[in-house]
Amino acid sequence: EVQLVESGGGLVQPGGSLRLSCVASGFTFSGYAMSWVRQAPGKGLEWVSTISATDGSTYYADSVKGRFTISRDNSKSTVYLQMNSLRAEDTALYYCAKARQLLWIHDALDIWGQGTMVTVSS
C-alpha cells in the first residue's frame, strides 16, 4: 500500500524551530519529487515547498523562503521540513505529498499523508 506518514509536529514558541518528517512506503521513493502543503485551521491549502527526485532542487513559497528547508534521505524513504524562526501564521496542519509522475518535478500531487499539526504560540 502506498503510504505517507508525517510526524514531528507540536507546540512551539514564536521564533522557535521544528523539524517535520514524512516516511514513505509502497513506492520507489527515490524516483519522485515530494512536497509539503499546509492548511491553517479552517482555511484553504497553501503549497509550502517541493524537492526534486533527481538533483535535489528545491522550491519554496515566498512566505517561508529563508526560514524553512526541505531535504530528503532516499535511504530512509523520508522527506523533512526544517522550520526555523516560526511565526504564529505558520500554525497549520502540514501535509507531505508525492508527485504523480516518476522523475517529474512540477506535477500534481497524487498521494497525501494525514498531516502533522504545528502550533506556534507563546
Alpha helices in 11-103 (DSSP H): none
Closer Cβ to another protein, 15 or 65, answer by number:
65
Q: Shortest gap between Cβ of 118 and another protein (angstroms)?
A: 16
Residues in touch with another protein (CB under 8 A):
35, 37, 44-47, 50, 59-62, 95, 100, 105-110, 112-115
Closer Cβ to another protein, 17 or 45, answer by number:
45
Residue/partner pairs of 43-46 with CB below 8 Å, 24 or more apart: 43/92, 46/92
> Are 118 and 94 spatial neighbours (Cβ–Cβ below 8 Å)?
yes
117 beta partners: 93
Closer Cβ to another protein, 38 or 72, answer by number:
38
Q: Shortest gap between Cβ of 75 and another protein (angstroms)?
A: 26
Q: Shortest gap between Cβ of 55 and another protein (angstroms)?
A: 14
Q: Shortest gap between Cβ of 35 and another protein (angstroms)?
A: 8
Closer Cβ to another protein, 2 or 88, answer by number:
2
Query: How many Å apart are CA 96 and CA 64, to the nearest integer?
Result: 16
CA neighbor of 81 nearest in space, from 101, 100, 61? 61
